[in-house]
Chains A and B, each alone.
Chain A
Amino acid sequence: MFDFLLKIFGRETGGSKNVAKERLRLVLVHDRAGVSPELLEILKTELIKVISHYMDIDEQALEVNLETSDNQVALVASIPVRGMKRLNGGLASSI
């Protein structure tokens, strides 16, 4: 009812507060985890290095992000695998 009245009588612009909320949410994920974009970049490079020992991955499409839900932050990585590497001679020697 009130929403309806708001639409008729109110200005009801784009609702820039949603933009504010979303930006705030994103910036807080990094603030709270104490992780800067630079650090995430370094982490990404190291991840590629380690995973490349075992798998052939698509480095360009690789995504590493911090995500939040219910006050918990998770490190979510999406790493497209092109194929597995053959581990001839065992793990130790290949690393």
Chain B
Amino acid sequence: MSEVIVVTSGKGGVGKTTTTANLGTGLAALDHKVALIDADIGLRNLDVLLGLENRIVYDLTDVTGGHCRLRQALIKDKRFEGLFLLPAAQTKDKTAVNPEQMKKLCADLVQEFEYVIIDCPAGIEQGFRNAIAGAEKAIVVTTPEVAAVRDADRVVGLLEAAELRNPTLVINRLRPKMVRHGDMMSIEDIIDILAIELLGVVPEDEMVVISTNRGDAVVQDERSRSGQAYRNIVRRMKGETVPMMNLDQNGFVGRLRRIIGFK
């Protein structure tokens, strides 16, 4: 059984591409066959996050335009056997692809892959419509900020209008210390407002920047908090029940809780 999942957010810079790279890598690390599609035509980035930028020969528009076969355009990941990337075109714009072509592309990919994950561009224009066209599930990424949550709400509405019901939510870059001090919206606050199912929470973590610098996915880093968060999300995507990480454990209150015996 295959799944076609779009990772979207409305607002830019909240971590769609980072999420896509980590979920894809995480699933591949568990021996799944995964294809990642960079649907951000004109602003390709997923290749860089995966460290595959030097291997690109063909891109998404070459496939949809019939200039090459799908198999030729798929780039094999350098670490995991089952992970492949279909890069976006860098020199074209969003109109180079249409929703029908994306549907066909996704239908072709599910023949061979268990998970097809589409990295959606920011915005709600044609690039968004292309990215969601072939998807049957959606993951909405947001950060605990007014603008990001507002845009996430808008996107949830648009996804539902496009018959992509019950999207799940990833809250990215949460800073537990600020939440404790009442200076950042909490997980509960955001869920309360968006009223969609929570898939996972990724804490703000310097390791994300460090991994990205190297072209690695932080999900491979056994020791990092964000890596753990992504591994939890991956297991939830597979249908496992994984309790939410205790994000407080590094803070003072968290340590105190452990000392007095609260988990």
Contacts and interface: CB of A to CB of B under 8 A. Distances in A.
Interface of A: 2, 5-6, 9-18, 20-21, 23-25, 27-28, 31-32, 71
Interface stretch (B50-58, B96-104, B105-113, B146-154): B146-154
Given A2-B257, A24-B193, A25-B193, 8 more contacts: A2-B253, A5-B256, A10-B181, A13-B182, A14-B182, A15-B182, A23-B146, A28-B153
A15 B183 contact: yes
Given A2-B253, A9-B252, A21-B189, A31 B184 contact: no
B17 to A, nearest CB: 25
B150 A13 contact: no
Contacts, number: 56
B13 interface: no
Q: Does more than half of chain A's interface fall in helix, strand or loop, or is it mixed?
A: helix
A71 B186 CA distance: 20
A36 to B, nearest CB: 14
A24 B132 CA distance: 26
Nearest to B185: A17
B193 A21 contact: yes
Contact of A13 (B183, B185, B195): B183
Contacts of B180: 6, 10
Interface residues of B, number: 22
Interface string B133-165: 000000000000110011001100100000000
A31 B182 contact: no
Contacts of B256: 5
A27 B183 CA distance: 19
A12 B253 CA distance: 13
Contacts of B185: 17, 20-21, 24
A24 B143 CA distance: 13
Contacts of A20: 145-146, 185
12 contacts: A2-B253, A6-B180, A6-B253, A10-B180, A16-B183, A17-B185, A17-B186, A17-B189, A24-B149, A24-B193, A27-B150, A28-B153
Contacts of A2: 253, 257
